[in-house]
Structure 1
Amino acid sequence: MTDDQHTDPDPDNQIAEIVDTIHDMRGPGEATVGALIEQMGVASFTPILLFVSLVIVTPLSGVPGLSSVCGLLIAMVSAQLLLGRDRLWLPDFILRRQMPRRKLNTALSQVEKPLSWVQEVTTRRLSFLTRPPFSYLLYSICLLCGAAMPFLELVPMSSSLLASVVALLSISLISRDGLFALLGLTALATTAALLLAVSQLLF
């Protein structure tokens, strides 16, 4: 049986570890971007992409300026993945960014259950879509989505839609499940069509 035909849950699926880490993030401690990334693991590039994109999907994205900061973070992490770096570097102005602890705890509790479900349903399907050269395309899409967020912050729901694309692609790359890559590309096409329609109405 080939890798792409395998349908049993992958015991090395990192999603379960991410769920545990997100659970541990809840509490009264410091809530800077740097502190949260340190808990996630500064060498865990793709899990950080997933975590940040999920934060933007929650109501926490309503905090002024947070979507822009998270978008820049997604773009920088994706760029360093494309460059093959093994250690993440981020500027201090992003690392020092504070998140409201109460709202953050609420957001983290909201993503735990969906992520647990994702961990159960992901498996190694169409995994060639998550390996080079296709993985470079996925990272590039994440980079573009993140880079677009600061420019679209005033457009309602735009950051959350782009973050959903990044989340689906990150899940695919972490779990080696190409089905989620296809879902992410479908979400990207839908988001692009919606943003084009909105831009035509506004301009």
Structure 2
Amino acid sequence: MSDTTSDQTHALSDVLDTLEASLDGDSVTVEHVIDKLGRASFASVMLIFSLISTSPASAIPGVTAVVAMLVLLLIAQMMIGRESVWLPDFVSRKRMDADKVQQGINWLRKPVAWVERFIRPRLTFLFHRPWLWLPMILIAALTLIMPFMEIVPTSGSIASAVIALFAASLLTRDGVLACLSFGLLLVVPVTLYFV
């Protein structure tokens, strides 16, 4: 196995490692986490916050709504071609309980390690326009209804998991994973409508 493949397959774990290293004290700000992840890495930032909302840390009141706002801002900036992440002060200064985030990281380790076994760069043409526009538009639409999902237990976590899949596909350039997330993006709103 080449070094490139090895680096690629551990990309998701590396993001978790970076998040864990950013935890210092009783709480951590959104801005601090983004600075650690790298302001040019939209995929890493989107992945980590959608994973937080998927994990037990989503039990923190308002987390789903904050993550939805973050993802919407990230998607909008990606679509207009910004090169670095920008967030308004009221979002970037939002604090998260470090212990809850750490619990979320620990919970995510095993599923992320399992998923990484199957991820590799493929169908990379899907990460260029116009192919990339449709999932981004669907994700933007999904984020608009996510704050209301906190009323229905686990529904916000399901939506966040779908966004995490898309972010993981961006990070690892895995077109098959992108297709899976696209399929789920079409299914989730319909499923939630009938729930």
Work out whether the TM-score is over 0.5.
yes
Question: Could you tell me which amino acid in structure 1 is paired with residue 53 of structure 2?
Answer: I
Structure 1, gaps ≥5 residues long: 1-7, 199-203
| Structure-2 separation of matches of 1:128 and 1:142 | 19
Distance 1:157 1:104 in 2: 17
What's the CA shift for 1:12? 5.4
1:19/1:115 contact within 8 Å kept: no
SS at match of 1:52: helix
- Asked if 1:127 corresponds to 2:124, the answer is yes
CA distance in 1, matches of 2:127, 2:82: 18
CA deviations 1:23-75 (Å, max 9, x no partner) are 32344364111111111112211111111110000111121111111110010
Check conservation: 1:9, 1:123, Cα contact below 8 A. no
Mapped to 1, the partners of 2:22 and 2:117 lie a distance apart of 22
Instruction: Provide, for residues 125-153 of structure 1, a one-character-per-residue CA deviation record: whole Å limited to 9, x for no partner.
Output: 22222222111222222222222212332
Contact 2:127 2:170 in 1 (8 A): yes
Which of 174, 178, 182 is equivalent to 2:175?
178
Which amino acid counterpart does residue 124 of structure 1 have in structure 2? P
Higher CA-based Rg: 1
Written as runs of structure 1 = structure 2, the 5 A alignment for 1:110-125 is 110-125=107-122
Please give the alpha-carbon distance, in whole angstroms, between the structure 1 residues aligned to 2:132 and 2:98: 34
- For residues 43 and 80 of structure 1, the distance between their equivalents in structure 2, rounded to whole angstroms, comes to 11
Given candidates 124, 130, 139, the residue that maps to 2:136 is 139
Q: Which runs of 5+ in 2 are unaligned?
A: none
**1:9 offset after TM fit, Å?**
6.7
SS in 2 for 1:86: coil
2:5 corresponds to which residue?
Answer: 10
* Cα deviation 1:88-128 (Å, max 9, x = unaligned): 11111111111112111111122233223333321122222
In 1, the alpha carbon distance for the partners of 2:145 and 2:71 equals: 10
1:106 aligns with 2:103: yes
Judged with a 3 Å threshold, the aligned counterparts in structure 2 of structure 1 residues 10 and 132 are, in CA distance, closer, same or farther, namely: farther
Runs ≥4 residues deviating over 4 A: none
Distance, in Å, in 1 between the alignment partners of 2:183 and 2:16 is: 25
Q: Does 1:152 align with 2:149?
A: yes
The answer for the alignment partner of 1:169 in structure 2 is 166
Pairwise CA RMSD = 2.1
Query: Once the two structures are aligned, what percentage of the paired residues are identical?
Result: 33
